[in-house]
Amino acid sequence: MSMVPDVADSSRPGDAPRERGAGAWERLVPSGRNACVVGLQFGDEGKGQIVDAITDRFDYVTRFNGGNNAGHSVRIGDQKFALHLIPSGILNPSAINVIGNGVVVDPEGILAEIDGLVSRGVAVGENLKISTRAHVVLPWHKTQDRLMELALHKSRGEQDTIGTTGRGIGPCYADKAQRSTAVRMGDLLHPDLLLRQLQGAASVKNVMLAALAAHLDEPFEPFEPRQLHETLLGQARRLAPHLCDTSALLRQAMREGRRVLFEGANAALLDVDHGTFPFVTSSNTTALGIHAGAGVPGGSVSDVLGVVKCYTSRVGGGPSATQFDDETANHLRKVGNEFGTTTGRPRRIGWLDLMAVRYAAQLNGCTGLVCTGLAVLSGLKTIRAATEYRLAGKVLTEFPYSADDLWRVEPGYAEFPGFEESISDCRRYEDLPEAARRFVREIARFVEVPVRAVCVGPAREQMLPVPAAG
Ligand code: GDP
Ligand code: IMO
Ligand code: MG
């Protein structure tokens, strides 16, 4: 049984009473057990909003991948929160928030995030647990991230750069696989071991990065391991109370029947194995990553909720088959406020790519979809969605493995009548114009997964559960 009361809690930041559409929980998490929320596109689908909508029914909210490259925005009343490393469940006073072993943690970044939340009245203490096995993002990872992007740009040009967030995510995961240059969060509690690790890693990093910087005509100041050691020990003093074996914590919680919500960061098409490689992030972003990234056994998740924005946005490099760049794209970017939560970069805009979404939903094993961004489409005469890919005249039956192919695919579009009226004030799915509901039905039909809710804006009360007969 869940320890979290079923009654709405109104003492949260932003104080707004929990105005969720009736039946949201029952529609989104029909099993009543553990669930996950994952993005089915290129990120920024609105995962934060969905986690927030159901978080008070869970005892634990757990991140299993990525780092502070993620930016999840949550709107509560007139307050907006941007979460990067800390699960969005932190805004629910009764949930324990877990940063799993599969996450990479920038100590400076997480401390700034904690301070920002505390300054706004959000309690962060016993309710935040960080895995001792999570890897530490160190200053040289950010330098390496920047220099590698510059090197790529220099050798292969704009189209081949990944356009990373610059947070050191890729180099940190690379060191995890490399092992000898890695540092884990638990190591911060062992000063002697930490110093030896930093000295060893710095001796390699300083040589490699100095050579790369010289090649690029960039300035480079070698890293001083003793100085870094001192800084990290200061940060460790503040982080120590949060560090523990989070895998053991979650396994025990699940044995006791507590409910766990897994919060995906980044999104399926950015998955390092299954996304549009090499234009991806460096972790398993899909539900496939939950077991390794949180240290929980297979079969731990009953409801897999895939979040789909009713159009496409992509930030950074890489192909997006349905991308277009005209007045309509500018309009969608503006109305959808499509500027990065983490970096502020304008996002590239495209029509909904159902070929990509169906692939992502199958990969994740989605049991339900939530469609966000429906209101952004208001006023368009015609709405388009890609339902076919052709490459060199041939219809593709599977999502292409190669980014080169994806740059070249010609999407075939289905067209749907648009809706003139603004729908952001709608509070019941049944009150949406028929054209909007038809578009939602088409998504469910094509992807072969039921749509459980639609969002007509980012606020809590703008999530509308879709009745079973929807
Ligand atoms: P996340 O990273 O998946 O949590 O999503 P972000 O919060 O980073 O980005 C969501 C983006 O979608 C923002 O730019 C929103 O302005 C835009 N957006 C458009 N319509 C909606 C909607 O109905 N709900 C939400 N949550 N975001 C929307
Ligand atoms: P959320 O959780 C959108 C993109 C970056 C870049 C690529 C690799 O908010 O949906 P990285 O810094 O991870 O090495 O960058 O991945 N990217 C995201 N784009 N939303 C995200 O997260 C992203 N996380 C990474 O823009 O193209
Ligand atoms: Mg985001």
pLDDT digits (tens, 9 = 90+) for 292-315: 999 999 999 999 999 999 999 999
* pLDDT at residue 341, rounded to an integer: 73
Whole-Å CA distances, 283 to 70, 102, 298, 328: 12, 8, 18, 33
* pLDDT at residue 65, rounded to an integer: 98
Tell me the average pLDDT across 38-59: 96
Q: Decide: 167 in ligand 2 pocket, CB within 6 A.
A: yes
* pLDDT at residue 12, rounded to an integer: 43
Distance 6 CA to ligand 2 centre (A): 35
Task: Give the residues across from 104 on adjacent strands.
Answer: 135
Q: Rounded to whole angstroms, how far apart are CA atoms 422 and 22? A: 22
Residue 72 is among the residues annotated as catalytic for this protein:
yes
Catalytic residue among 72, 135, 242, 274: 72
Q: Output the average pLDDT for the chain.
A: 94
Q: Rounded to whole angstroms, how far apart are CA atoms 13 and 15? A: 5
The pLDDT confidence band at residue 25, using thresholds 50, 70 and 90, is confident
CB 62 within 8 A of CB 333: no
Q: Decide: 281 in ligand 2 pocket, CB within 6 A.
A: yes
- Which of 85, 158, 165 has most ligand 2 atoms within 8 Å of CB, for mutation? 165
Q: Decide: 170 in ligand 2 pocket, CB within 6 A.
A: yes
Catalytic residue among 44, 56, 106, 175: 44
Distance 372 CA to ligand 1 centre (A): 7
Distance 233 CA to ligand 2 centre (A): 29
Tokens of 168: 């050191």
* pLDDT at residue 1, rounded to an integer: 28
CA angle at residue 319 from 314 to 325, to 5 degrees? 65
Tell me the average pLDDT across 325-346: 92
Tokens of 259: 């409910």
All residues at 6 or more sequence positions from 157 whose CB lies less than 8 Å from its CB, including other chains: none
* pLDDT at residue 343, rounded to an integer: 78
Q: Decide: 169 in ligand 2 pocket, CB within 6 A.
A: yes
- DSSP code at position 86: S
Percent of the chain with pLDDT over 90: 91
| Nearest ligand atom owner, CA of 285 | 2
* pLDDT at residue 348, rounded to an integer: 97
* pLDDT at residue 16, rounded to an integer: 40
470 or 234, higher pLDDT: 234
Would you say the pTM of this structure is higher than 0.85? yes
* pLDDT at residue 6, rounded to an integer: 27
pLDDT digits (tens, 9 = 90+) for 166-190: 999 999 999 999 999 999 999 999 9
CB 140 within 8 A of CB 102: no
| Nearest ligand atom owner, CA of 339 | 1
* pLDDT at residue 15, rounded to an integer: 37
The pLDDT confidence band at residue 14, using thresholds 50, 70 and 90, is very low
CB 134 within 8 A of CB 103: yes
- Which of 159, 164, 283 has most ligand 2 atoms within 8 Å of CB, for mutation? 164
- Domains in the chain, CATH or no CATH each: 32-131+245-303 (3.40.440.10), 136-239 (1.10.300.10), 308-465 (3.90.170.10)
Shortest-distance atom of ligand 2 to CA 145: 14
Task: Give the residues across from 394 on adjacent strands.
Answer: 391
15 or 288, higher pLDDT: 288
The pLDDT confidence band at residue 340, using thresholds 50, 70 and 90, is confident
* Nearest to 425, CA basis, from 400, 467, 371, 461: 461
The pLDDT confidence band at residue 342, using thresholds 50, 70 and 90, is confident
Task: Give the residues across from 459 on adjacent strands.
Answer: 75
pLDDT at 13 exceeding the cut of 70: no
Residue 215 is among the residues annotated as catalytic for this protein:
no
All residues at 6 or more sequence positions from 112 whose CB lies less than 8 Å from its CB, including other chains: none
Distance 216 CA to ligand 3 centre (A): 31
The pLDDT confidence band at residue 163, using thresholds 50, 70 and 90, is very high
